[in-house]
């Protein structure tokens, strides 16, 4: 089971896998915003790792 506590101890690849598997409900604006922020953060982390 994944929750806020287990996420703290997940590796980057585990977090990426989890984030790319989640999809916010179309009627939940906060969930959509969180998903977009998390995906953008992963993109920025990937860009930074390439430098």
Per-residue pLDDT of the chain (51 residues; tens, 9 = 90+): 678 788 788 888 888 888 778 778 889 999 888 888 888 888 888 888 898
Counting the structural domains of the chain, the total is: 1
pLDDT at residue 29, as a whole number: 92
Note if the pTM is more than 0.85. Answer: no
Phi-psi region of 33 (alpha: psi -120 to 50; beta: other; left: phi over 0): alpha
Closest Cα to residue 23, out of 36, 14, 11, 10?
36
Which residues form the domain of 24? Answer: 4-50
């Amino acid at each position: 089971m994944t929750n806020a506590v287990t996420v703290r101890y997940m590796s980057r690849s585990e977090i990426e896998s989890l984030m790319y598997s989640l999809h916010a409900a179309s009627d939940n604006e906060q969930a959509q915003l969180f998903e977009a922020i998390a995906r953008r953060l992963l993109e920025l982390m990937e860009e930074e790792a390439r430098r």
